Chain A
Amino acid sequence: MSKPILLSSEKMAQFASRGFLMMEGVVPKRINDQFLKDIGKVPESEISDPMSYYGKVMGSSAIPVVSAGVPLSDGYPADNALAKMLALPKVMGAVQSLVGDAPSFDHHFLHMTFPPNFYQDSSRPQASQHWHQDSTIDPRQAFDVQIMYFPHAVTAKMGGTRYLPGSHLRIVSEAAIGRYQNIRGQEFVTCKAGTLLFMHMGIWHGGGLNLSNKVRYMFKIRMCPTQRQERLWDTSDLGSDHFEQRPIFWTGLKGITNPIHETLTTSEPWFEHDTGRLEYINRVLFWRYLLGDNSFDADYWLTRIENEFP
């Protein structure tokens, strides 16, 4: 087995800050082809509506049925496309960096978005999926990861997954955010075949509107850590100045850069003026958790308010 390629500190900080990491086209064609073959072809003549298509695919596909809680490494037979995907060095390394080397399997699901012709005889109009956060209210600092696997190329017309970078630390109750339709900074997956999106379980997202003439597939696997998620990535690149503070606000135009501090204090287009600052604070708290060191701070956001005297 190849050695896992762990994430760098900078990549890990990007995940802590924005809640996702994209690996464009990382899964080779042979695995994508095998996975698409496993899904199986349902003849168009048998299609009446999206739900019946789901039923047919679930009944006939070769995607394994796996119980929640089994070790991820036991979830798929070695010759299965999903086992091969998870064994890719970059994929294995990202999984290990985020949830450790012995994560447990939570669930998986083949998400499909259907083109307009699937709705001709349906009483349900074609629509994008509401914004939601998966599962339920989850206030943990420990986090699960969901891999979104796009086995074929996704064009803009196909309504790729919509997601909101940086939303993962907001604690909401699943589809309670469905009232929001559009949020500044929302992104839509358009990608090459074999792209993976690693997502913190808290990311706000939803399926898009498929206006192409093909069914769009996305396979999601959720995995849970079985250990404290502390310094699981390749920390060899953490600079010696990692705990040092830099000048803030009045920076003399030159600016003193520190990639990780910079990443943790970069705003998103949807940030509110006041809660945007809370997002920085929550990112720093998250980074402290990942480092296992409560002395870390970026731009003094926490040090300032922790300056208390008994």
Chain B
Amino acid sequence: MKLFYVVSVHHTFNTTTIICVSRLYIRVRIFNENGTSKMRYDLKQKLLLAEYMTTQSIDLSARQQVMVLYTANSALDTAVIAWSFYDGTGKTTHMAGDQNEPPYQTGLDALLDGWRLIQASPLVSHVSGDEFKTGYLKYEFFFEKMVAMEEV
């Protein structure tokens, strides 16, 4: 018996698509709105992705901690000028104005401490006439840590 791990579920207006991985396969299953199976695709190759996902032993009960760091320029190794935490474990609460010192001096320090970078703001060309306008903080980096609930 193959052991599959569900890695994502997508809902559209009349179908549900479930993507699962095992050590050797990526399986895509599509269900009708009444829950009956519509299609099944098995990608019968030893895919690195499947290998990776299974060796990482995905714990579906894990919760995400999100940290957002804003740096002084687009390089991850520059100083953190602003930061936020959102804790999906529910064990800590963070809010505006709760800290005066950043958790890391640079974004690189966060990587060194095991945070995974999941999004970085793009560099956008300046629209003519808007070159000197300032607004939102420009260099935003989203990091995550997945925390097994038993660790909490």
Contacts and interface: CB of A to CB of B under 8 A. Distances in A.
13 contacts: A130-B96, A162-B96, A170-B136, A176-B136, A183-B137, A184-B82, A184-B102, A206-B96, A271-B72, A272-B72, A273-B78, A274-B138, A278-B133
A155 B4 CA distance: 57
Given A270-B81, A272-B81, A273-B78, A180 B135 contact: no
Interface of B: 68, 70, 72-73, 78, 80-85, 93-100, 102, 132-139
Contact of A278 (B81, B84, B96, B134): B134
B100 A186 contact: yes
B97 A269 contact: no
A281 interface: yes
A64 to B, nearest CB: 32
Given A180-B84, A181-B83, A282-B132, 8 more contacts: A169-B134, A179-B84, A182-B83, A182-B96, A183-B81, A184-B82, A272-B73, A273-B72
A179 B100 contact: no
Contacts of B81: 183-184, 269-272
Interface in A279-293: 279, 281-282, 285
B133 A182 contact: no
Select the residue from B70, B94, B97, B139 with max chain A CB neighbours within 10 A.
Answer: B97
A127 B95 contact: yes
Contacts of B135: 170-172
Contacts of A128: 95-98
Interface of A (DSSP majority class):
loop
A201 to B, nearest CB: 15
A181 B129 CA distance: 31
Interface in A126-144: 127-131
B64 to A, nearest CB: 16
Given A270-B81, A272-B81, A274-B73, A186 B136 contact: no
A242 to B, nearest CB: 23
B73 A182 contact: no
Interface of A: 125, 127-131, 162, 169-172, 176-184, 186, 188, 206, 208-209, 269-275, 278-279, 281-282, 285
Closest 5 CB pairs of A and B: A181-B84, A183-B82, A162-B97, A273-B73, A128-B96
A208 B96 CA distance: 8
B68 to A, nearest CB: 7
A54 to B, nearest CB: 20
Contact of B139 (A169, A272, A282): A272
B85 A181 contact: yes
A281 B73 contact: no
A176 B102 CA distance: 21
A278 B100 contact: no
Nearest to A170: B134
Contacts of A178: 96
A129 B95 CA distance: 8
Contact of B95 (A177, A179, A209, A282): A209
Contacts of B100: 182, 186
